[in-house]
Structure formats: C-alpha cells, structure tokens
C-alpha cells in the first residue's frame, strides 16, 4: 500500500514535468521566431501576436513550476531533494526565457522609436523643402523675367550693332564714289582744253587749205 501511495506523487511529478518540457520547447521556438521578427522588422500585427503567445506560454510555465513545487513536497525527503534540483534547473531556464523575451521586446521598441524619429525627421525635412520652394518661386519668376529682359536687350544691341556696321559700310561706299566723282571733275578742264585746241587746229587747217586752193 505504501508503494502504491508513493507512486502517485511521483507519477504526478513526471506528468507535470513532461508538460513543462513541452512548454519550454514551444517557448524556445516562439523566441526564435520573435527574434527573427525583430531583425526583419515584420509588421506590428505579427509582432504583437507572437508577443501575446509568448507571454501566455511563460505564464503557463510559471504556473507549472508552482505545481511541480507542490508535488516535490509530497515526494518525501530523498526523492523530493533530488527533484528539487530538477525544478531549480527548470526555473533557471524560465528565468532565461523571460530575460530573452524582455530583451527582444526592448529591441523592437527601440527600433520602432528609431523608425518613428527617422520618419518625423524626414517629414520635417520635406516640409522645410516645400516651404523653401514656395519662398523661392517668386524669386525664380523674377529672376526668369530679369533674364528675359537681359536677353531682349542683348538682341536689341546686336541689331543695333548690325545696323551700325551696315551704315558704316554704306558711308565708306559713298565716300569712295564721291572721291571718284571729284577726280573725274578735276580732269574735266583738261579735257575741255584739249577739245578746244583740236577745234582751233581744225579751223586753222581749213583756212590754210582755203588759201591754197584760192
């Protein structure tokens, strides 16, 4: 009867310990997935879902440890002492799980805060650029108008220069023609004198011829 009575708490211990191991395996897998989510920056919905599942599993494991502690008290001095060391290792593992869970959560929170800050900075920069562009638009329009006026003035000056060159060319042409006309006029008296001498000689020859014939 005593063996049967003693096997009851021990069997209960083994059953509870198996449940603890299953929970530990689940937590281990969820922590790996949770850490991957934090690195890859997956969506908030996935992150929140994994965090809730891990919190539930950690709570279940803690409650299981409490059951294991009550069971150890029923095992007796020798077996109870041995299983107390086993329970201590389970509790240390739970402590590591909780520590890793808090670390990953802190990393995710820090990353979100960085992303929010970066988004805010980019937004401020965008608004500043928009405001600067709005202020510069009138200046750019004025600058464009001034450049247009300068180009128009350059065009007028270029046309004036072309006209000036053409007029100077015409003046040089007229001066050349005037010089030629003046030279021609200067030669007219000489020609008139030559024609007069020819006419007088012809007249003289006519008179001589008339005398000879007479």
pLDDT band per the 50, 70, 90 thresholds, residue 54: very high
**Of 119-123, 142-146, 158-162, 193-197, where does mean pLDDT reach its minimum?**
193-197
pLDDT surpasses 80 at 199: no
Find the DSSP H helices in the chain.
Answer: 2-40, 44-75, 77-213
For residues 172 and 5, the model is more confident at 172
CA distance 24 to 90: 9
User: What's the count of helices (H) and strands (E) in the chain, helices before strands?
Assistant: 3, 0
Please write the tens of the pLDDT for every residue from 115-130.
778 877 877 787 777 7
Q: What percentage of residues in the chain have a pLDDT greater than 90?
A: 24
pLDDT at 6 over 50: no
Model pLDDT, residue 71: 87
């Amino acid at each position: 009867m005593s063996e049967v009575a003693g096997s009851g708490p021990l069997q209960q211990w083994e059953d509870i310990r198996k449940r603890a191991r299953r929970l530990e395996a689940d937590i281990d897998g969820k922590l790996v997935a949770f850490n991957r989510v934090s690195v890859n920056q997956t969506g908030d919905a996935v992150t929140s879902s994994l965090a809730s599942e891990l919190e539930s599993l950690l709570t279940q494991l803690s409650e299981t440890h409490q059951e294991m502690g009550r069971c150890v008290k029923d095992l007796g001095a020798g077996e109870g002492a041995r299983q107390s060391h086993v329970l201590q290792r389970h509790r240390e593992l739970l402590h590591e799980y909780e520590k890793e869970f808090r670390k990953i959560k802190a990393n995710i929170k820090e990353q979100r805060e960085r992303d929010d800050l970066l988004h805010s900075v980019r937004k401020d920069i965008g608004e500043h650029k928009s405001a600067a562009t709005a202020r510069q638009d009138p200046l750019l329009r004025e600058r464009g108008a001034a450049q247009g006026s300068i180009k128009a003035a350059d065009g007028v000056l270029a046309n004036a220069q072309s006209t000036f060159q053409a007029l100077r060319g015409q003046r040089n042409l007229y001066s050349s023609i005037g010089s030629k006309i003046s030279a021609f006029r200067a030669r007219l008296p000489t020609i008139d004198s030559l024609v007069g001498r020819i006419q007088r000689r012809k007249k003289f020859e006519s008179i001589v011829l008339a005398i000879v014939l007479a």
